[in-house]
Amino acid sequence: MYSMGKHLVFVGGGHAHLTSLKNLSDFISRGHRVTLISPSPYHYYSGMGPGMLGGSYQPWDVHFHIEKLATDRGATFIQDRVVTFDPLAHRLFLQSGRDVQYDVVSFNTGSTVPVEALTKEPHDNVIAVKPVVNLLRARNAIAKGSQEGRAFNFAVIGGGAAGVEISGNLWRLLQEQRGNGRIVLIAGERLMPSAPDKVRRLAVESLGGRDIRILEGKIVESIERGMVTLNDQTTIDFDIAFVATGVRPASMFLDSGIPTGPDGGMLVNARLQSVAHSDVFGGGDCISLEGHNLAKVGVYAVRQSSILLCNLLATLEGDEMMTFTPQAHYLLIFNMGNGKGIFWKRSRVFQGRLAYLLKNYLDRRFMKAFQVSGEHDVKSDTIE
């Protein structure tokens, strides 16, 4: 005998929600109503974003059709953005002005790059590396300009893994398009500061060997009108700048007055449940796990996915919940844009074609598990 149906709302269709969305019959067969709210009908996989920029992957290789994933299984899809919510009134307030009532809600809204910290106003040629669809827009613009004979000066701001992969894949894009350009990677104090020295050395050798200039020991103070100003007041001109200075959750949780972690992510317990509201859940980059300081890497969101499926169903049905224990070690492989990758897990580090092929295999296997909504049926690079 099933309980009286309740309304479950998913906010965002990222990695941590994919298992639940694929298994919506678990909720709907028990009489519950499900809604997915997302600003786009597609969700792009960040792990393959730099490869899409460089041309190793096409857009349809890299995205999930989350609208179809949800509606094919009986859910309602609302293309909109949640800006704030009232956890006491169980109400979500959307950018369009409408609101949505829920019984249980789960957030997987990802993270953004705080570009506004560097520039006074938005510029079309200053591109945040998240959301990942920005990289598709950039690829199309660069390909068009290269075909018209235009030479580009690129500035990549941020010396972490994203900045390294973007730089290497910009080089690949220029090779593919037979274009001309200069790439400057402004790494901050140090390139890949959280990685072992061997990873850093291999990255420097890989990029430097392709005439990609790496600036260390310099911090970007501002970006204005095609010019980056550094903390020593030197300047670098650019046609397109990519900002990869780290990510943070949107301000929605702070604005809604619920407990957050240091970066503004919703503070959750080991059940991925808000520490203040038992009917509010979340996963991925938008949460802060109580007692932990987790890196913003997709492996955690993927592992949280099955935990959320279990715990959302348990909350609706009154069953026992599971706990999430983050793994201490995980594999990272960086796509360097030249058909090679840098493999890093614990003390094991190596570079080469094998590393890239392993990353490609793992990424495509993950995509195949959730690309069940005809993503490859319509092949277009039109921005969705």
CA 53 to chain centre: 14
pLDDT at 183 (0 to 100): 98
The matching CATH number, chosen from 3.40.30.10, 3.50.50.60, 3.30.470.20, 3.30.559.10, for 115-246 is: 3.50.50.60
Both tokens of 383, joined, read: 């921005």
**What element of type H or E holds 84?**
strand 82-86
What are the residues facing 356 on neighbouring strands?
Answer: none
Per CATH, which fold does 7-39+80-111+248-317 belong to? FAD/NAD(P)-binding domain (3.50.50)
pLDDT at 140 (0 to 100): 96
Residue 328 pLDDT level (bands cut at 50, 70, 90)? confident
Q: Do domains 7-39+80-111+248-317 and 115-246 have the same CATH topology?
A: yes
Q: What is the average pLDDT across 122-130?
A: 92
Closest by Cα among 122, 129, 189, 136 to 156: 129
Residues 6+ apart with CB under 8 A from 195: 161, 203, 344
Residue ranges of domains in the chain = 7-39+80-111+248-317, 115-246
The per-residue pLDDT for range 261-288, each reduced to its tens digit, is 999 999 999 999 999 999 999 999 999 9
Phi, psi of 354 (to 5 degrees): -60, -40
Whether the predicted pLDDT of 1 surpasses 50: no
What are the residues facing 260 on neighbouring strands?
Answer: 266
- Residues 286/109, Cβ–Cβ less than 8 Å: yes
Q: What is the average pLDDT across 239-267?
A: 94
The per-residue pLDDT for range 38-92, each reduced to its tens digit, is 999 999 999 999 999 999 999 999 999 999 999 999 999 999 999 999 999 999 9
Both tokens of 155, joined, read: 């500035």
The per-residue pLDDT for range 216-230, each reduced to its tens digit, is 999 999 999 899 999
Q: What is the average pLDDT across 243-269?
A: 94
